[in-house]
Amino acid sequence: MTETQPLRRLDRCFSIAPMMDWTTMHYRYLARLLSRQCLLYTEMVTTGALLHGDRERFLAHDAIEHPVALQLGGSDPKELAACARFGEAAGFDEINLNVGCPSDRVQNNAIGACLMAEPRKVADAVAAMQDATHVPITVKHRLGINGRESYAELCEFVDTVAATGCRTFIVHARIAILEGLSPKENREIPPLKYDWVHQLKREFPSLEIIINGGFKSLDACREQLDVLDGVMVGREAYQNPWLLAGVDPLLYGEAAPFTSRHDALRAMLPFIEAELSRGVALNHITRHLLGLFHGCAGGRRFRRHLSEQAHKPGADLKVLLDAMALVPEDAEASAAETA
């Protein structure tokens, strides 16, 4: 058994889940403006993409994003070790191994949730990544998979991987059904079992146990922190990003970076302008902003304007500024009063 990894300064009290096509650099920039403290994760990047694809593009991130973790998808220890080294060299603060994605494409490559059936294989991969780097190596996984869905098997998985010295486990509190359900259905149909994650913390008190799945409010997150070491939020943090403005005051006891959505978005304008000058299409950025004015008068007009205009050739910052003008600045106060 390897010695447990020493505690790093990373605070995993609140983090945003890695989400394919969603947690891009453009979304992560917005998220960091709204919370200085939350831990950010990239989309899952496969080892094949880094070894044979445009490595610079896949590892791109802005300095403002830190602390930010790279999530890898793979199963071969040597390939994962090499990619973990790439991630460390690129400056990521943590490397996370995906053992939770249930998509057919991921299964066909023998990575993601199907690895829950092979705890020893996961342990070998984690050990190789640890030996290759000096940053924390963490694992994000499900409670189990169909055919291997007992609490005892969950404990066996965690115990086997923890024997490598891995100390941080991010647990999506559902099993994954590998046949017959889409990835979207796998995020909704298998029942949440928070009690299993709580019991896991009692069984392994020295490990850092983070819970993920179904959280829609910061009050619900705060309740989990009475039992667990952290909470990871996915879809709600993306679809309603202003939720993140409450993270620092409610969970960390610090002032929110911005108290106005307009001010936060104005702070993002220089970054957006720089991205446009690099040739990035406006809609590739603004698609991550559509939920920012959720609940505000004019919020639908903001979304509609961006959806209809940002994809057009030559669309520039004026499109976004015009969309912002459709939301009265005092509408935010009204939204807060009726929330």
CA neighbours within 13 Å on the CB side: how many for 255? 4
User: What one-letter code names the amino acid at 45?
Assistant: V
Measuring CA to CA, which residue among 295, 293, 148 is closest to residue 305? 293
Is residue 101 flagged as an active site residue? yes
Measuring CA to CA, which residue among 328, 298, 322, 296 is closest to residue 308? 322
Q: How far apart are CA 170 and CA 146, in angstroms?
A: 19
Q: How far apart are CA 70 and CA 87, in angstroms?
A: 7
Q: How far apart are CA 287 and CA 154, in angstroms?
A: 37
Question: What secondary structure, in 3-state letters, does 221-243 show?
Answer: HHHHCCCCCEEEECHHHHHCHHH
Question: What is the b/e burial string over 165-192, where b = at least 16 CB atoms within 10 angstroms of the residue's CB?
Answer: bbbbbbbbbbbbbbeebebeebbeebeb
Q: Which of 13, 38, 83, 101 is catalytic?
A: 101
Q: Which residues are catalytic?
A: 101
